[in-house]
């Protein structure tokens, strides 16, 4: 995950000095698919399995507040089960927009 963090330019992470306290972002792997299964995010489309990829995780984003999942966004379509061509709903801009809308709604309810 360190190599992925470096590749993605995660602030505070470089090839010579890496610590878990270096960034507010922590990348974690799911090598056995336990989290993927628990979240019911395993891709069930036959395409990946047909080329030997089993247990692939869907492209998704969660917003969790105080242990409660508030927003779930999944990038998938019938012709793009991995969401590779249209990841927009899971990217930071979309999530920030949705989080702000959620906060606005919560504030209005007060």
Q: Distance (Å, rounded) from C-alpha 86 to C-alpha 77?
A: 8
Q: Structure tokens of 11?
A: 């602030």
Q: What is the pLDDT of residues 25-48, one digit of tens each?
A: 777 888 888 999 999 998 887 776
How high is the pLDDT of residue 53?
64
Read off the pTM. Answer: 0.74
Paired strand residues for 68: 65
Does residue 11 register a pLDDT over 90? no
Does residue 20 register a pLDDT over 80? no
Give the residue extent of every domain in the chain.
31-109
The b-or-e profile of 71-91 (16+ CB within 10 A means b, else e) is eebebbeeeebbbeeebebbe
Position with higher pLDDT, 1 vs 77: 77
Q: What is the pLDDT of residues 70-110, one digit of tens each?
A: 999 999 888 888 888 889 999 999 999 999 999 999 999 98
Q: Distance (Å, rounded) from C-alpha 29 to C-alpha 47?
A: 23
3-class secondary-structure state, position 13 = coil
């Amino acid at each position: 995950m360190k190599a992925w963090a470096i590749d993605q330019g995660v602030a505070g992470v470089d090839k010579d000095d890496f610590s878990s306290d270096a960034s507010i972002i922590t990348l974690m792997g799911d090598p056995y698919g336990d989290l993927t299964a628990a979240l019911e995010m395993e891709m069930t489309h036959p395409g990946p399995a047909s080329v030997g990829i089993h247990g692939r995780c869907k492209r998704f984003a969660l917003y969790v507040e105080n242990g409660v999942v508030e927003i779930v966004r999944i990038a998938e379509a019938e012709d793009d089960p991995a969401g590779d061509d249209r990841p927009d709903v899971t990217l930071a801009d979309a999530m920030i927009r949705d989080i702000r809308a959620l906060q606005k709604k919560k504030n209005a309810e007060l």
